[in-house]
Amino acid sequence: MDALRALPSVHQLLEEEPATTLIAAHGRPLVRFAVQRVLEDERRQASTDTSHDRWARVEATIQGLRRPRLRPVINATGVILHTNLGRAPLAAAAAEATARIAGRYSTLEFDPQTGRRGRRHDLVADTLRYLTGAQSAAVVNNCAAAVLLMLTALARGKEVIVARGELVEIGGGFRMPEVMRLSGARMVEVGTTNRTRIEDYASAITPKTAAIMKVHASNFQVVGFTESVDLKPLATVTRQHQLLLLHDLGSGALLDTTAVGLAAEPRIQDSLLSGVDLLASSADKLLGGPQAGLLLGRSDLVERVMKHPLARAVRVDKLTTAALAATLDLYLTQSLAEVPIWGMLRASTESLRSRAQAWLRRLAELGVVAEVTAAESTVGGGSLPGERLPTSVLAITPRQGGATELLRRLREHEPPVIGRIADERVLLDPRTVLPDEDDVVVDAVAGALS
């Protein structure tokens, strides 16, 4: 009780000398907030700090509040589309385009030639049409929003037929049956977990059916006794019955993933060629752009979808639009070496080995014992499950503290370096480390082991 009575008031503290210096640096409201918080802690713990300790804690509280929580990290996990680490890093041109638009007014919804209002998703529609062959294109916040919007605008109050084996859950609680319910469409499941035939779809059609929806099984594989129906026969059925064929592609690639030794991820242009009426696809998976969702397909459907009030709630902002336009421009000019994730996917095993060896040599000079060993990178981001890319990694067996401790110390480096553990060793994969980050990785490892 005595200790509590001895606590000074916020007002008193703000009159003290250290407050003046802090207020000059951080402004009065923030200093007052930090003082209040430190005093509350003292009251709760029924203890009183010395004046010196208290001001040190006030300062630490302010620093904590001001330290950016969203900051760069170095991804040495070998998972190319790491959702927790922000999926695709943007191409330099896309990052620059974003910076150019961010601090200024822009032509977001304004056509300088006519002086009239424009539509933001038209800014990339021509490019998307050219790259994919779609009749029409629009952009929303992400693929999840694109799917929800598509179903809400086109199938609310009606039935949508989906194969049981395609009722996927994407990370972050995006479950196809729940999205259907949310959209107001009634989901009609057909087939079994492992097998669905064209007759299953055909016999489920009723006068209330609006569409057949195909969902790409992005993040899992069904192996063994399986059967599913391709888009083309589905398109024949939907055309016969005047229904829509909708496709949730998830990742959606413009390039052929088999060219880099991976399984085939469905390409946007192939889906459209197969007769899909409207598709939804992510922009920050294998497209390598910013977080966004693409809606591509028939003009009348894109028009209907984008006129729905929900479209306004999931509309894309100017920074994303700038980054997406710049990313698509790299596809237009075939400058794919500049799209970071495609550089990572295409990196040769030799180039990866020589990078890991260069890290090893520099660390050896600093007295660090490690080795270069063969390992595997993955695509991640709910694309190409089970697919592995051969790589070479730096493998470190810590002499003391164990691998978990070393991993933690690497995370505490600024910027944090994120690795993984296998067989009690910390593995750092050069595939996902950007070319200008090599020095930082070497410094972080040397520091963490010293």
Residues that bind ligand PLP (CB under 6 A): 142-144, 147, 168, 170, 174, 215-216, 218, 248, 250-251, 282, 293, 382
Taken in order 254, 260, 266, 272, is the CA torsion positive or negative?
A: positive
Spatial distance between the Cα atoms of 61 and 38, rounded to a whole number of angstroms: 8
Q: Between 59 and 284, name the residue whose CB sits nearer to ligand PLP.
A: 284
Q: How far is CA 351 from CA 188, 355, 432, in A?
A: 50, 6, 13
Spatial distance between the Cα atoms of 295 and 324, rounded to a whole number of angstroms: 14
What's the closest the beta carbon of residue 423 comes to ligand PLP, in angstroms? 31
What's the closest the beta carbon of residue 138 comes to ligand PLP, in angstroms? 15
Spatial distance between the Cα atoms of 431 and 363, rounded to a whole number of angstroms: 18
Structure tokens at 402: 């164990």
Q: Between 168 and 445, name the residue whose CB sits nearer to ligand PLP.
A: 168
Strand pairing category for 116-117 and 136-140: unpaired
Q: Between 78 and 293, name the residue whose CB sits nearer to ligand PLP.
A: 293
DSSP for 241-298 reads TT-EEEEEEET-BSS-GGGGTSPPPPBHHHHHHTT-SEEEEESSSTT-SSS-EEEEE-
Q: Between 218 and 238, name the residue whose CB sits nearer to ligand PLP.
A: 218
Other Cβ atoms less than 10 A from the Cβ of 206: the count is 10
What's the closest the beta carbon of residue 182 comes to ligand PLP, in angstroms? 14
Q: Count each helix (H run) and each strand (E run) in the chain, helices first.
A: 19, 18
Spatial distance between the Cα atoms of 165 and 221, rounded to a whole number of angstroms: 10
Spatial distance between the Cα atoms of 367 and 365, rounded to a whole number of angstroms: 5
What's the closest the beta carbon of residue 200 comes to ligand PLP, in angstroms? 20
Q: Between 179 and 360, name the residue whose CB sits nearer to ligand PLP.
A: 179
What's the closest the beta carbon of residue 217 comes to ligand PLP, in angstroms? 7
What's the closest the beta carbon of residue 206 comes to ligand PLP, in angstroms? 26
Q: Which run of H or E residues covers position 96? A: helix 92-102
Q: Between 250 and 398, name the residue whose CB sits nearer to ligand PLP.
A: 250
Q: Between 77 and 251, name the residue whose CB sits nearer to ligand PLP.
A: 251
Q: Between 61 and 320, name the residue whose CB sits nearer to ligand PLP.
A: 320
Q: Between 152 and 392, name the residue whose CB sits nearer to ligand PLP.
A: 152
Strand pairing category for 417-418 and 169-170: unpaired
What's the closest the beta carbon of residue 427 comes to ligand PLP, in angstroms? 26
One-letter amino acid at 407 equals: L
Taken in order 283, 286, 288, 291, is the CA torsion positive or negative?
A: positive
Q: Between 196 and 391, name the residue whose CB sits nearer to ligand PLP.
A: 196
What's the closest the beta carbon of residue 291 comes to ligand PLP, in angstroms? 7
Spatial distance between the Cα atoms of 136 and 125, rounded to a whole number of angstroms: 7
Among the listed residues 283, 258, 260, the one whose alpha carbon sits nearest the alpha carbon of residue 268: 283
Q: Between 58 and 215, name the residue whose CB sits nearer to ligand PLP.
A: 215
Spatial distance between the Cα atoms of 384 and 378, rounded to a whole number of angstroms: 8
The C-alpha angle with vertex 304 and arms to 299 and 305, in degrees rounded to 5, equals: 100
Structure tokens at 431: 């595939």
Q: Do the beta carbons of residue 274 and residue 308 sit within 8 Å?
A: no
- Of the chain, the end-to-end C-alpha distance in Å amounts to 47
What's the closest the beta carbon of residue 146 comes to ligand PLP, in angstroms? 8
- Of all residues in the shown chain, the one whose CB is closest to ligand PLP is 250
Among the listed residues 147, 414, 93, the one whose alpha carbon sits nearest the alpha carbon of residue 294: 147
Q: Between 89 and 430, name the residue whose CB sits nearer to ligand PLP.
A: 89
What's the closest the beta carbon of residue 30 comes to ligand PLP, in angstroms? 35
What's the closest the beta carbon of residue 169 comes to ligand PLP, in angstroms? 10
What's the closest the beta carbon of residue 204 comes to ligand PLP, in angstroms? 21
Three-class secondary structure of residue 37 per DSSP: helix
